[in-house]
Amino acid sequence: MLPLRSALKHSRGLAAAFAATTALLAPGSLAAQDGETTITAVMHSGLRVLDPVITTAHITRNHGYMIYDVLTAVDENFEPQPQMASWEVSEDGLTYTFTLRDGLVFHDGAPVTGEDVVASLKRWGKRDGGGQLIFDVTESLEASDEKTVVWTLTEPFGPLLSVISKQSAVPPFIMPKRVAETSADETITEYIGSGPFVFNQDEYEPGVNVTYEKFDDYVPRDEEASWMAGGKVVNVDRVVWTTMPDALTAINALSAGEIDYLEQVQIDLLPILDASPEVTVETRDDLGYVTIGRPNHLHPPFDNKLVRQAAMAALDQESMLQTMQGDPAYYNVCGAIFGCSTPLGDEADAEIVTGGADPEKAKALLEEAGYDGTPIVLMAPTDVISLINQPVVAAQALREAGFEVDMQSMDWQSVVQRRAQQSPVSEGGWNMFFTNWMVPEISDPLTNVMVSGRGDEAWFGWPDDPEVEELRAKFMKAEGPEAQKEVAVEIQKHVMDNVNYIMMGEYLIPQARRNTIQNMLPSPVPVFWNMTKEAE
Amino acid sequence: MLVYILKRVLATIPVMLIVAIFVFLLLRLTPGDPAAILAGDAATPAQLERIRDRLGLNDPLLTQFFTWIGQLVRGDLGVSLLSNTSVAGMLGDRLGPTINIALMTITISVLLAVPMGVIAAWRHRTWVDFLVMSFSVLGFSVPVFVIGYILIQIFAIELRWVPVQGYKAPSEGIGPFFSRAILPSLTLATIYVALIARMTRASMLEVLGEDYIRTARAKGVRENVVLFRHALRNAAVPILTIIGTGFALLISGVVVTESVFNIPGIGRLTVDAILARDYPVIQAMILLTAGIYVFVNLLVDVSYSFFDPRIRY
């Protein structure tokens, strides 16, 4: 860039004149208006769906945390903490009594009541996997008065507080009763919460811009903010989320000071930001993401456990993560199906996925299984950057181990439609695909949909696995962290043996901010409370 | 003329109907599931099925088609399957940036390209002609996004004359609009300058060899009058055609430029809608694009008679 800078040096006077003219024509257009503090953030995706209960899309969940509040929330130690409500549990573990704290109001000025909480939890319970399990053992859920909600169970459900406090896919956001009474299969049409920010509907452009304004009547908790728990103190007037489809443009805009924060930075573009001293690159979500391979348990050859084991032995996490991320600072070989940094995560029996590819073992397993060379249809999306590399690396590794692989390239939408087909491969079915999850979404046996062994009712791939279902039922009844961990390790060992899915390791995504943005909280979900913005 | 315009307007009805049937069937035959996008990755097949029912995606194709056509006849473009917002409102928001950038691009292109083409034809086989033709080849050959990045690097990052990205409507101030629209317009203009300059040159070369030009020169008419009043006016028909087609192309095909400069135009709206299989938005966008093509072609045809009095409808 130096020669160009030098060549353009003499144009600076003209530049100043042009800039001054523009400024005269547009007073205040490039600066904050009316002394307001506005944070402009480029998020990983455009916000199109505004209902944080109907969808598991991360951007909609993030939107949920801006405008809604939650009853309870996990802190950085994965411990449920009171947020809107404190709770008491009866000695028999069958009755949970939640008491709403003072000062909770919706953005339209109405107080938050127990009725609102009940309606919101019921709607959430129809969408969320963990919620459905709780409602399976629910005797009643009622508001005994304006501020009290009593949840009575037919049998103990040990992880109830963890499930309703979870931070991702899908947290039970509290909405006004009239909104929460919308069918769980329809999107809501009114966006009023009691959270720290107010959604500005007039300035909302689906997929392009969304503006949030500080909710002046929000009363934060007194505790320090920690992940999704604690005091959500808002120090800015407005937060604008914008979408930039071009990664390089977003980086240029950050360097030029046109935006304050970039939620995700492509690793191959990081060197460009090295040249911007006014920008800090960091990882605030230390849990990160996992990438996984999902075999289809319905059809040959992956209806045979030995063939699934052969595929697991054939694959190598290191080479897959290296191809995806490049820089070892941003990935982590990990065999724990509930994540390597979570309380339930454990790498028991995981050497088969963390110890490198073992094509000889895979060949032996294939021979034992009597694999007849039926080609594996491996779906390979071509339009999602974070999913492009896995099928390519996997196809090569599987071929080296003796599999016949038919890798079929298609757009992600085609993968999404085809993976729902239960028909045999010859009639439009499939054998394997790869996808990614945030670690909080796979961090326990209830939220991790890939662990479900309910056959046709399970997640795509449909393992019919009564043993894992028994273990999940045992987990639900397990009281306390130690008992729950014990069951989680049993599930880990079972999944490593049965190969419900293939854990391919963890990776991190860096983010970047102008140095004027301070006090950002580390959190798996980007949060805009607590942070401050200094003048440039 | 009025009868001709009326006939052409009426002729758009079957054209639009055919486009409507085609786009509807094409979308339904393309793999993809809007319900899966709406519900997210963790939704179970049963949940997706219930959402599809609610969205009417499980209705028979004919029912879906006639529901949509019925809405269209009433002037209702429907609502986005994802954002639940009115498609007409979305188009209204996104059309402004695209049209404004397209108008600015065409203005820049015509102002630069027509004189360039005229001069190149006038100075045929000289270094001026060579220069103009070289620029044309370059303008055609370099991808739009490369030009965009180069302009951003020079004018936004090094010189800091203008912002890197974004869009402001003219109603928010001419300065903010101009400072953000100039780089995308210049980027797009490189292709159109090349296209229009070449067409102008070729058309002018043909006209400049005509007898009436020789006569005008023999009468002692000044050269600029010969070029711009006599020759250019007679060479106008093909140039107008290319400008009209170019404008229609600009309205419908500036996705890359909109992405590089982060302009919330209809190109990006279309691509996003296609990726999400947001049927009502895609259908409306394709109908709109077809309508724009029909309208621009009509406008170009009508304007022929203004430049060439021999053409009468």
Listed by start position, the domains of chain A span 289-507
**pLDDT score at B313:** 72
User: Percentage of residues in chain B with pLDDT exceeding 70?
Assistant: 99
From chain B residues 172-211, the ones with a CB under 8 A of any chain A CB are 172-176, 178-179
Given a cut of 70, whether residue B253 has pLDDT beyond it is: no
A-B contacts (CB, under 8 Å) = 178
Q: Pairing between strand A173-174 and A69-70?
A: antiparallel
Examine the domain organization and report whether B43 and B147 are in the same domain: no
Of the residues B49, B83, B147, B271, the best mutation for testing chain A's interface (the one with the most A CB atoms within 10 Å of its CB) is B83
- Is A118 within 8 Å of A143 (Cβ atoms)? yes
The band of A21, judged by pLDDT with boundaries at 50, 70 and 90, is very low
Which residue type sits at B64? Q
- Is A523 within 8 Å of A285 (Cβ atoms)? yes
Question: Which of residues B43 and A122 earns the better pLDDT score?
Answer: A122
pLDDT digits (tens, 9 = 90+) for A283-307: 988 899 999 999 999 999 999 999 9
| Radius of gyration, alpha carbons of chain B | 24
CATH of residue B97: 1.10.3720.10
ipTM of the complex: 0.85
State the number of CA atoms in the 13 A half-sphere of B81 facing the CB: 27
Is residue B68 in a domain? Answer: yes
Q: Where are the alpha helices (DSSP H) in A176-327?
A: 177-180, 247-255, 270-274, 305-314, 317-325
Given a cut of 90, whether residue A114 has pLDDT beyond it is: yes
* Cα separation, A393 vs B242, whole angstroms: 47
Q: Is B46 on the interface with A (CB under 8 A)?
A: yes
Residue B93 with chain A: CB contacts under 8 Å: 205
Is residue B20 in a domain? Answer: no
Is residue B267 in a domain? Answer: yes
Is residue B103 in a domain? Answer: yes
From chain B residues 147-166, the ones with a CB under 8 A of any chain A CB are 149, 152-154, 156-166
**pLDDT score at B126:** 95
From chain B residues 219-248, the ones with a CB under 8 A of any chain A CB are none
The band of B41, judged by pLDDT with boundaries at 50, 70 and 90, is confident
* Closest chain A residue to B178, measured at CA: A22
Phi, psi of A513 (to 5 degrees): -140, 155
Burial class, A123, CB count within 10 angstroms (exposed 0-12 / middle 13-18 / buried 19+): buried
* Positions of E strands within A219-307: 238-242, 261-262, 279-282, 289-295
Nearest by CB: B33 against A50, A208, A417: A417
**pLDDT score at A34:** 60
Cβ A253–B159 below 8 Å, yes or no? no
User: Percentage of residues in chain B with pLDDT exceeding 90?
Assistant: 59
Residue B156 with chain A: CB contacts under 8 Å: 252, 256
Examine the domain organization and report whether B61 and B100 are in the same domain: no
Nearest by CB: A29 against B40, B43, B175: B175
**pLDDT score at A531:** 96
Selection from A246, A332, A249 nearest residue A283 by Cα: A332
CB contact set of A202 (below 8 Å; sequence gap of 6+)? none
Cβ A249–B40 below 8 Å, yes or no? no
Question: Which of residues B75 and A141 earns the better pLDDT score?
Answer: A141
Examine the domain organization and report whether B133 and B186 are in the same domain: yes
Nearest by CB: A48 against B82, B163, B173: B82
Is residue B10 in a domain? Answer: no
Is residue B27 in a domain? Answer: no
Examine the domain organization and report whether B99 and B70 are in the same domain: no
Is residue B21 in a domain? Answer: no
Given a cut of 90, whether residue A225 has pLDDT beyond it is: yes
Examine the domain organization and report whether B52 and B200 are in the same domain: no
Examine the domain organization and report whether B106 and B71 are in the same domain: no
Cβ B36–A19 below 8 Å, yes or no? no
Examine the domain organization and report whether B45 and B154 are in the same domain: no
Q: Which domain holds residue B215?
A: 91-307
CA A530 to chain centre: 21
Three-state DSSP class for A262? Answer: strand
For chain B, give the mean pLDDT.
90
Is residue B86 in a domain? Answer: no
pLDDT digits (tens, 9 = 90+) for B241-252: 889 888 888 886
How many independent structural domains does chain B possess?
A: 2
Which is the CATH superfamily of the domain at A289-507? Dipeptide-binding Protein; Domain 3 (3.10.105.10)
pLDDT digits (tens, 9 = 90+) for B77-92: 999 998 889 999 999 9
What does the block give as tokens for B295? 């309208």
Question: Which of residues B239 and A7 earns the better pLDDT score?
Answer: B239
Examine the domain organization and report whether B103 and B251 are in the same domain: yes
Given a cut of 60, whether residue A28 has pLDDT beyond it is: no
Examine the domain organization and report whether B42 and B128 are in the same domain: no
Examine the domain organization and report whether B121 and B182 are in the same domain: yes
Nearest by CB: A413 against B32, B90, B162: B32
Q: Which helix (H) or strand (E) holds A124?
A: helix A114-127
**pLDDT score at A112:** 98
User: Percentage of residues in chain A with pLDDT exceeding 70?
Assistant: 94
Examine the domain organization and report whether B147 and B99 are in the same domain: yes
The band of A23, judged by pLDDT with boundaries at 50, 70 and 90, is very low
Q: Which of A13-27, A244-258, B185-199 has the lowest mean pLDDT?
A: A13-27
Given a cut of 70, whether residue A107 has pLDDT beyond it is: yes
Angle between helix axes B174-208 and B144-151 (nearest 10 degrees) is 130
Given a cut of 90, whether residue B122 has pLDDT beyond it is: yes
Three-state DSSP class for A274? Answer: helix
* Cα separation, A76 vs A94, whole angstroms: 27
Question: Which of residues B154 and A384 earns the better pLDDT score?
Answer: B154
Examine the domain organization and report whether B275 and B199 are in the same domain: yes
The band of B206, judged by pLDDT with boundaries at 50, 70 and 90, is very high
Of the residues B90, B165, B182, B183, the best mutation for testing chain A's interface (the one with the most A CB atoms within 10 Å of its CB) is B165
Given a cut of 50, whether residue A15 has pLDDT beyond it is: no
Q: Is B92 on the interface with A (CB under 8 A)?
A: no
**pLDDT score at A96:** 98
**pLDDT score at A11:** 42
Q: What is the mean pLDDT of residues A188-212?
A: 95
